[in-house]
Amino acid sequence: MPTAGASGLPVCRLPHPGRAGRTAVRYVERVSNKVKNTALRAGTITAGTALMLLMSSPAFALTRDDGDDPGPGLSVIQTLGLYVVAPIVLFLVIAGLVMATDKSRKQAKSKG
């Protein structure tokens, strides 16, 4: 219950001022134990399946299958050309085509 302090303002006394009050999660309707157990079982199975898949994925990577035959790696020049120069050139080509086929400039020049 709030009580009046020295300043006359109400003071609320908490059992643990530095901590939040202990409140339980409250549902609109009570959750039955059967629903809780089913949810717990589903979560456990999902976590276990994910853990097994994560643990087994390195084992599946040891053997090559499905006709996988990687070729030789790229040099530094080839990598820079593929991932840096090619996108810039593609951007410039698209921008040039847009500017070359822009009809708004031609209409503005013919009116003015």
pLDDT digits (tens, 9 = 90+) for 55-78: 877 766 667 677 677 788 999 999
* CA separation for the pair 29, 60 (Å, rounded): 47
Summarize pLDDT for 9-45 with one digit per residue, the tens. 666 565 555 666 566 666 666 767 888 889 999 999 9
The neighbouring-strand residues paired with 106 are none
Q: How many CA atoms lie within 13 A of 75 on its CB side?
A: 2
Mention every residue, 6+ apart, whose C-beta is less than 8 A from residue 21: 14
Summarize pLDDT for 39-58 with one digit per residue, the tens. 999 999 999 999 988 887 77
